[in-house]
Structure 1
């Protein structure tokens, strides 16, 4: 009797990534290389890619990242032709991503990449309607003024939008790419992803994550600038919620 031929599975390098780690960066020459190495260590053994999206930096961020490509084969670098903001950089990375699961984290190194896999595992272990598992920063390493402003903003947003999120400013999130692409896009959407996921009928969940001191560079946001943008964004998302209609699903007949 002839033996059944053995079918060898394709090596992991030949398979598309399951996870795409998307990192927006702007003038982060000091932080980006070490962050890329940390991501590689955190996701070692998984089918992943990391996509750094440079939002038209004025320093050597792109050159520093490109120099890492021989060392980090999972690294991809995108560069905006003009500065367009954090949310647009995240969206550019997601549009270019090949993984069905997206992990986002800030490019300043304050989010800990080691927490990324646990968010992915929680997402994949949940039901199909669970579309996002977001991080909530514990022992936040920011100035007292920034923490107070964030606490106030999160409280107002949570009360008005009912998005169940205590910390939408945390850049570390894991979510399904398909679900994100169903959301209406606007600038600063990254702070409203939980509310918009709920609007589409998905479920969201949250997990505590580490937060670290910024080692290089400086914050691109001010409390006043965030407040002004948040007011108009909040009104816009409330309007989107008021105009949503849930069909309860669709069945082919």
Structure 2
């Protein structure tokens, strides 16, 4: 079967969400505009997530997984997904399902002439503190990166895989994916997507992760931008 699109699903202690993840992604596969498969990346979960993931993959031919030895963080999980993807397009969605897999079709409509399409969460259903800290963090990142993106933390993205594989990931870089595509002279766009409240499980990011941590990451990004190697091949034999 020739797949065109891989959806990466990072998982860290999400046992209460995984049955719903299976249903919603299975439903999406039936209506996907590209032939789609799912790749769970178990980021060292200590609950029953791995057991549930293996059961899901056994009963669904379009689902696969990789499992980390121990927790390495969201950026590492996304990088692993990029590394293992073998389709022309790759995307990811959080296992808390605060965004809808069905909105991948909105992003895929634009990927033809763009190299990354990211969602921007409309009418966010998060707490006031979380919304405000995210807005502040995004404004700081825009000042550093000039990527023009309003919501780089939105966990719904589609990227051309050859661009994704060239991203030199480090911890925290998942917030800078649009900027890293721009460093490759790629084209990016944002598209409004739905947003829902978290139904089960616990958020993995607090105030430090959303605000103070990303500020430090901005300086790491500036260093990388200065040192980044980009080239184009005009001919080969």
TM-score, scaled relative to structure 1: 0.87
- Equivalent residue for 2:27? 41
- Match for 1:173 among 135, 154, 157? 157
Q: Provide the C-alpha distance between the structure 1 equivalents of 2:206 and 2:44, rounded to a whole number of angstroms.
A: 20
SS at match of 1:37: helix
CA separation of 1:156 and 1:82: change in aligned 2, threshold 3 A: same
Indicate the residue corresponding to 1:68 in structure 2.
Answer: 56
Q: How does 1:79-90 map to 2 (within 5 A)?
A: 79-90=67-78
- 1:3 is aligned to none
Q: How does 1:87-236 map to 2 (within 5 A)?
A: 87-124=75-112, 126=113, 130-236=114-220
TM-superposed CA distance for 1:37, in Å, is 1.8
Q: How many angstroms apart in 1 are the aligned matches of 2:169 and 2:73?
A: 13
Q: Structure 1 residue 245: deviation in Å?
A: 6.7
Structure 1 residue 227, shift from structure 2 partner: 2.7
Q: Structure 2: 5+ residue runs without aligned partners?
A: none
**2: distance between equivalents of 1:39 and 1:240?**
35
Provide the rounded CA distance (Å) in 2 between the counterparts of 1:61 and 1:114: 23
Q: Secondary structure at the match of 2:150?
A: coil
**Once superposed, which parts of structure 1, at least 4 consecutive aligned residues long, lie more than 6 Å away?**
none
2:3 pairs, out of 4, 17, 23, with 17
Do 1:139 and 1:211's aligned partners in 2 also have CA atoms closer than 8 Å?
yes
Change over 3 Å in CA distance of 1:81–1:245 after alignment to 2: closer
Partners of 2:146 and 2:57 in 1: how far apart? 42
- The answer to whether the 8 Å contact 1:33/1:65 transfers is no
**Counterparts of 1:246 and 1:78, CA distance in 2:** 30
- Specify the alignment match of 2:225 in structure 1: 241
Q: Deviations over 1:189-219 (max 9, x none)?
A: 1100101110111010110001111111110
- 2: CA distance, partners of 1:98 / 1:162: 31
- Any stretches of 5+ residues in structure 1 without a counterpart? 1-14
Per the TM alignment, residue 241 of structure 1 is displaced from its structure 2 partner at its CA by 2.2
Q: Find the aligned partners of 2:91 and 2:138 in 1 and give their Cα distance.
A: 22
Q: Deviations over 1:62-91 (max 9, x none)?
A: 111222234321011211011100111111
> Aligned partners of 1:87, 1:245: CA distance in 2, in Å?
21
Whether the 8 Å contact between 2:133 and 2:210 is mirrored in structure 1 is no
In angstroms, what is the RMSD of aligned CA positions? 1.6
Instruction: After superposing the two structures, state which structure 1 stretch, 202-211 or 86-95, moved more.
Output: 86-95
Larger Rg: 1
Q: Deviations over 1:134-158 (max 9, x none)?
A: 0000011111000000001101111
Judge conservation of contact 2:17–2:200 (CA < 8 Å) in 1.
Answer: yes
